Chains A and B, each alone.
Chain A
C-alpha cells in the first residue's frame, strides 16, 4: 500500500513539474518598447531576396534596433507553425506571410496585437490600402493584420496548347461560362491536353479559395462570403458557379484526382486558376492570362476575384512592439513595396498600384492584368472560425460539385454549407 502511495506521489510530482513547465515562452514587452526584433518570412527564392534586402536596409540605419530574420520554420503549413509558436510564446515580432484565414483564430488566441492601438495605426493601413483595407478589419475596427500583398487569381492558359486545339491564343473565348465550357471541350476533344483545367480537387479547407471563391467574387461583383453574421453564397450566383464547375467535372474537362506536381506546368491541363506568384513557376510555359469567367461575361475592369493575399502580423510575444511597428511601416513603404513588386511579381495591397508603379508595369506587361485586378479582390472572413467555415464549404463542394455525380443536389449542398457557415459565424 505504502509503495503504491509512493508511486502515486511520484506521478503527482511529475505532473506538477510538467504543469509548471507549461507556462514558458515570452509574454511580450510593453507597446512602446524599442530594441532588437526578430522577423520570419516565406522561404521562396523571390521573397527571400526581398526579405534579405529589407533587413540589410533597416539594419544599416538602426544599429540599436537590429532585425534578426529567418525563414518560417518548416511544418505542414505556415499557419500550423505559427499557431504552435503562439501557444509556446516563441512567435517572432513580425511574420511576413500570415494567411488571412488564420488571423481571426490567432487573434482569439491572444497571439496578435491590434495594429490600430499604435499611434496612427489604422490611418496608416487605410491610407495605404484604400477601400480594400476594410476587409481586413474586425467588426469593431481592429486590425490584427496589415494587408501586405495579393495574388489576384486569374485564368492562366497555355498558348501553345490552345493553338494546337485550334483556339486563338491571342483572344481565347473564356469570358462566359458557355464560352469557357466550349473552349474546354475543344481542348480535351482535340487531345491537346488531358484536361482543360485541373485545380486541386482535394479536401483541404484552403482549396475552396481556388475554385469557388474567385468565380463567386466575379459573379457577384465582389460580394464576400460573409455579410455580418450571414453567409451570402447559397444564392443564385453561388449556384451558377457550382453548376459551372460541376459541368467541368461531370464532362471530364477538369481532373478530379490529385495531381502530384503542377498539372499546368506539366502540360496535363491547358489552364490554371492561380495568381501571379506562379509566373516564376511557369517560366517554361508560353502562357496568357484572362480574368475568371462569369455567367454572362463582364468587361475585365468590372471583374472581382479572390485575393490570395498574405499579410503581416505583429505577434504578442514581441519584446519590442514599437520597433516592430516601425519596421512594418518601413517594409510597406512605397520604396519597399516597389522592391517587393520587382523581386516577387506579387502585388502590394496598395491603392493606386498601377499609377504608383507605372514604370514597372510598362517594363513588365505580363503583370499589367494582375496589377489592374489587384484593385478588385475579395478576402475571406476575419472570424476566429474562418478555417472551420471554409472547411464546411469545402466538404459540401467536394460532396456535390466534384464527387456528387450527375444527380448531385447543388442547391441543397450550398444551403447545408451556409447553415454551418452561419452557425460558426455566430460562435465566438
Chain B
C-alpha cells in the first residue's frame, strides 16, 4: 500500500471571503430601527446621566456658556449623606417587599382561576385589565375617595379605621401605595400567566390526577413549576416598574407624604432634577437606582429561576 502524501494547502478548503457587512447585510437594515431606538431611548440617556453624575451639571439655554467641571464622586457623596435619599430607597424596598410577592401570588391564582372558568371568560379578563389601561390620575382620584379619613374604607371599618388615616399615616402610606399598584397592574400580569398556562400540557394534570393529586397539589406540583419562566418575568417586570415608582407618591400622597414616608427615588429624581435645577444629583440617584435594580434583578434571576432551569 502506498501512502500518498498531499500538502496541507491542497486539502484545506478555501476560506470563504468575508463580507464587510456580515453574511446577511440586509439584517443590519432590518435591525437598524431597533438599534437606533435602543441607542436613542436607552443607551444615550443612560450614558449621559452617568456623565452628569460626575459633573457639576445643570441645564442651560442654547448658546449660554456655563462651567460644568468634573467633580468626581461629589454628587454621589452628597446623595449618600442625604437622609431623605436613604429613606426613599428604604421606602421603595418596603414597596417591593409587599408589591412583588403580592403581584406574583394574586396574578397566578387569578390567572389559574380565569383559565378554568368557562362562562363570561372574556368579561372577567377585561375586568381585571381595565385598571391597567386606565389613566393613573383618574384611578388615583377614586382611591383618594376610598382611603381618605372619611372615605368608604374607613366608613366600613368603623372603629377599626386607622388614625391617622391610610394616606397620612407614616406606617401605612407605602403599604397602601403598594396595594394600589398591585391592584392596578394585576391585569397585565394575569395576561402573562394566562399565556404561560396555555402552554402547560394537559397530560401533566392528568398524570398528577392519576397519581392521586388534588387540585391544590396539582397547582403546586404542576402549575407553579410549569409557569416558572413567566414567574421570573413577572418578578423582574414588577421589580423594575416598582423601583421606578413615581406617579403614585406624586399623586396619591402628594409628593411623598406624610413627612417623606412615601417618597421614592424616582420622585426625588424629579424634585432634584426638574424642580430644583440640580440634574447632577438627580443623575447620581438615578445611577444608584439602576445599579440597585440590576443587583436585585440578578438575584431574582439567580434564585427564582431562569433559562435551563
Contact = CB atoms under 8 A, between A and B. Distances in A.
Co-complex (A, B): yes
Q: Could you say which of B58, B165, B258 has the most chain A C-beta atoms within 10 Å of its C-beta?
A: B258
B258 A403 contact: yes
B257 A203 contact: yes
Contacts of B271: 205, 391
Contact of A27 (B61, B84, B254): B61
Contacts of A80: 274-275
Interface string B43-64: 1100100000000001111111
A83 B165 CA distance: 36
Interface residues of B, number: 49
B275 A257 contact: no
A111 B58 CA distance: 12
B18 A203 contact: no
A25 B170 contact: no
Interface in B3-36: 18, 20-22, 28, 32, 35-36
Interface string A398-421: 110011100000000000000000
Contacts of B79: none
Contacts of B278: 388
Contacts of B18: 2
A14 B255 contact: no
Contacts of B277: 83, 105, 108-109, 384-385, 387
Interface stretch (B140-148, B209-217, B218-226): B140-148
Interface stretch (A3-11, A183-191, A212-220, A304-312): A3-11
B260 interface: yes
Interface string A1-44: 01100110011001100100001111110000000000000000
Nearest to B255: A203
Contacts of A229: none
Contacts of B145: 260
Contact of A87 (B36, B61, B257): B61
Interface in A259-276: 260
B102 interface: no
Interface string A366-388: 00000000000000000011011
Taking residues whose C-beta sits less than 8 angstroms from the other chain, chain A's interface range is 35 or more
Given A15-B39, A15-B44, A388-B278, A86 B167 contact: no
Given A258-B144, A260-B145, A391-B276, A110 B61 contact: yes
Q: Is the interface of B mostly helix, strand, loop or mixed?
A: loop
Given A11-B43, A28-B63, A89-B62, A388 B22 contact: no
B61 to A, nearest CB: 4
A395 B276 CA distance: 14
A317 interface: yes
B260 A18 contact: no
A219 B170 CA distance: 31
B274 A204 contact: no
B66 interface: yes
Contacts of A257: 148-149, 165, 167-168
B149 to A, nearest CB: 5
A258 B44 CA distance: 39
Interface string B155-188: 0000000001101101000000000000000000
A7 B39 CA distance: 11
Given A10-B32, A15-B39, A316-B64, 13 more contacts: A2-B20, A14-B44, A87-B61, A91-B61, A108-B58, A109-B60, A110-B61, A111-B61, A203-B255, A203-B258, A257-B148, A395-B260, A403-B170
Interface of A: 2-3, 6-7, 10-11, 14-15, 18, 23-28, 79-80, 83, 86-89, 91, 105, 108-111, 194, 200-205, 256-258, 260, 316-317, 384-385, 387-388, 391, 395, 398-399, 402-404
12 contacts: A10-B28, A14-B35, A24-B62, A109-B60, A109-B64, A109-B277, A201-B168, A204-B255, A258-B144, A387-B275, A388-B272, A398-B258
The 5 A-B residue pairs whose C-beta atoms are closest, nearest first, are A110-B64, A27-B63, A202-B254, A203-B255, A89-B62
